Copies of this chain bind each other. A is one copy, B any other.
């Protein structure tokens, strides 16, 4: 019931993104356990996962299946900017909403980073066999990350070989401090406990190694920057440990920050629609299995992973309850937006976090009050020119953000933008959908690393 992936061995099918969002718009059943995608029309997959792993487990079959994953769009760092990778696979099947996602130039700040000629010798991914770890490697490839070498660390997958078009065959290693310190940058997709113990030891050393941590271990530490690179990356990516925000925070932040800069937030009220993937592979598996059993045997089995049945239900609890009656997932949004945006205590942020029976990508209904007068047209223009955001907001064509469309996209979709009938000309309401494995985790970490490379140059 947590948004983070807490163990290095946790695993989530990245293939899910692809079959949900493939051009034929169909979600083949139970890709984690079958070979439904074996005859996929989407060929030319980069074989970055070894065909067999030592131990046949749920995560192993996931990895094996990834061989049929469609090729990510390799982004060339050119003079004009960086192509947004992976966008080409993101379309849904319904005729009215089916469309090719326009590849667009990334916003200037991101472009500048990758345009830099700087380079590092090695990047390490600790927890490389987990859902986020795998996405991190995909992001390094897709974004043409300026390094020649990637080292992968994972406990159970150690010894297996991951094939990478850009970085060659990579033999997965057991984690060791010595090996980690042979990388200039280590991306951590591990538990908070692991990070608490090892991050301070990894950072520094002979190569002045930097840690980009995806857990919540360091997020609220006053000496550790908490970074969404497009928002507050400048001047913070030289730290020994840089922390990634919670996925729900990161998805909402992409739309909220440009608005805050121009209109100054006073209040943020958020209700979320969070996918099973936010709880990791087990959450997705339970949703898939529950629906399959319902179809085949006429019944949804008792839940084992989630506290309550997720198929045909919504669960208004994610992560543990706090003393104030909010869950930790909800308070993360409050705490992290304040830290990332540098909000004063006068700015109030609240969230209701709800799990819904979807597979991947989180959505958020957001109502804001601002200090300055605000209006939908100006905000649409503002967001169209903001990094990491795509405005999908055309009532006439029934276009608005939806998790199926946001899946596999680097950009967070923003739409349903309207003047708030509660806060009048100082208020706005809107809806966002974003791939929380990308913006809320792997992509965010990799862009931080890109900025770190630039700073190190």
Contacts and interface: CB of A to CB of B under 8 A. Distances in A.
Using C-beta atoms within 8 Å of the partner chain, give the interface range for chain A: 35 or more
Contacts of A358: 312-314, 357
A48 interface: no
A-side interface mostly: loop
A423 B348 CA distance: 8
A422 B267 contact: yes
Interface string A79-104: 00000000000001111110000000
Contacts of A421: 324, 326, 334, 348-350
A303 interface: yes
Number of copies: 2
Interface in A359-384: 359, 363, 365, 367, 376
A446 to B, nearest CB: 26
A90 B52 CA distance: 47
Interface in A330-371: 334, 348-350, 352, 354, 356-359, 363, 365, 367
A296 interface: yes
A21 to B, nearest CB: 11
Contacts of A295: 29-30, 291-292, 295-296
A108 interface: no
Interface stretch (A55-63, A163-171, A248-256, A393-401): A393-401
A316 B401 contact: yes
A392 to B, nearest CB: 10
Contact of A313 (B291, B404, B420): B404
